[in-house]
């Protein structure tokens, strides 16, 4: 099986604009006791997760950094609501993507390198092809135009890692307290074959959540169905 990095097709004829954010998020960590870094990122998002049953819901609405003990407490509140295989990190996002949109859209829309939207009809076609574990979640986008598409967010689990051979040899190990890697995603990525899932046709990497990876089954289905809007870059594996 071959694998591909999925990204926006910047040469496409589609011109669109989307601005917004997910409804809820975990705080970042302030001055982690393990690495002394303040950080958080929304590159892991679980749009299917409804946090309305959680007490003090307003705590999940304001982006901010908190001491690690408060972060841990909020993780415990969220944990029972997560889909199987979900992993948390500081700044992880939940619920629908809320915002504004306009323009012309392809079948697939890479809003960010780590956030992939799909038109509802395109998702139905992909699911009919037998692709595994494709889960589309409703967004709350307000369109400033007529005949607006129905854009869904694909929920992507963090699975799979890069092979150590493509990472700096003098890198520090991830922080034992917060899990922060502290290194930039390499331009020339090499997948670690022993970590790649056999049950998913689309996922994000666990160690570099900004990378969305699809199988050749996914890429071939997109080409066969004429689904556009993104590019597919082959990823070597070892």
Question: Which residues face 207 on adjacent strands?
Answer: none
Question: Which residues face 109 on adjacent strands?
Answer: 117
Across 54-68, average pLDDT: 95
Q: Where are the domains of the chain?
A: 3-10+157-235, 19-94, 98-154
Query: Residues 117-142: pLDDT tens digits?
Result: 999 999 999 999 999 999 999 999 99
pLDDT confidence tier of residue 84, bands split at 50, 70 and 90? very high
> What is the pTM assigned to this prediction?
0.95
- How many CA atoms within 13 Å lie on the side-chain side of 79? 7
Cβ atoms of 119 and 227 within 8 Å: the answer is no
Measure CA 61 to chain center.
19
Q: From 81, 53, 83, 107, select the one nearest 218 (Cα to Cα).
A: 107
| Tokens standing for residue 15 | 């011109």
Element (H, E) at 138: strand 136-138
Whether the predicted pLDDT of 237 surpasses 90: yes
Across 26-53, average pLDDT: 97
Across 64-74, average pLDDT: 97
8-state DSSP, 54: S
How many C-beta atoms surround the C-beta of residue 188 within 10 A? 7
Nearest 5°: the CA angle 39, 45, 46 is 140
Whether the predicted pLDDT of 61 surpasses 90: yes
- How many CA atoms within 13 Å lie on the side-chain side of 73? 9
pLDDT computed for residue 146 by the predictor? 84
- How many CA atoms within 13 Å lie on the side-chain side of 106? 23
Query: Cα separation of 1 and 3, whole Å?
Result: 7
């Amino acid at each position: 099986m071959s694998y591909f990095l999925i990204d926006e097709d910047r040469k496409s004829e589609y011109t669109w604009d989307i601005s917004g954010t997910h409804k809820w998020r975990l705080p970042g960590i302030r001055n982690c006791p393990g690495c002394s870094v303040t950080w958080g990122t929304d590159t892991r998002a679980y749009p299917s997760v409804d946090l309305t049953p959680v007490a003090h819901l307003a705590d999940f609405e304001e982006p901010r950094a908190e001491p690690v003990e408060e972060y841990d407490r909020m993780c415990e509140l969220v944990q029972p609501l997560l889909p199987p295989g979900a992993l948390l990190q500081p700044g992880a996002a939940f619920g629908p993507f809320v915002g504004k949109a306009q323009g012309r859209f392809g079948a697939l829309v890479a809003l960010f390198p780590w956030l992939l939207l799909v038109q509802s009809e395109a998702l139905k076609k992909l699911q009919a092809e037998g692709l595994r574990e494709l889960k589309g979640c409703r967004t709350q986008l307000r369109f400033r135009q007529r005949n607006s598409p129905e854009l869904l967010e694909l929920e992507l689990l963090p699975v799979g890692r890069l092979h150590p051979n493509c990472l700096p040899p003098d890198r520090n190990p991830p922080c034992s307290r917060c899990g922060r890697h502290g290194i930039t995603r390499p331009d020339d990525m090499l997948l670690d074959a022993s970590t790649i899932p056999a049950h998913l046709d689309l996922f994000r990497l666990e160690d570099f959540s900004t990378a969305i990876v699809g199988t050749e089954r996914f890429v071939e289905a997109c080409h066969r169905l004429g689904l556009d809007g993104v590019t597919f870059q082959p990823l070597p594996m070892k």
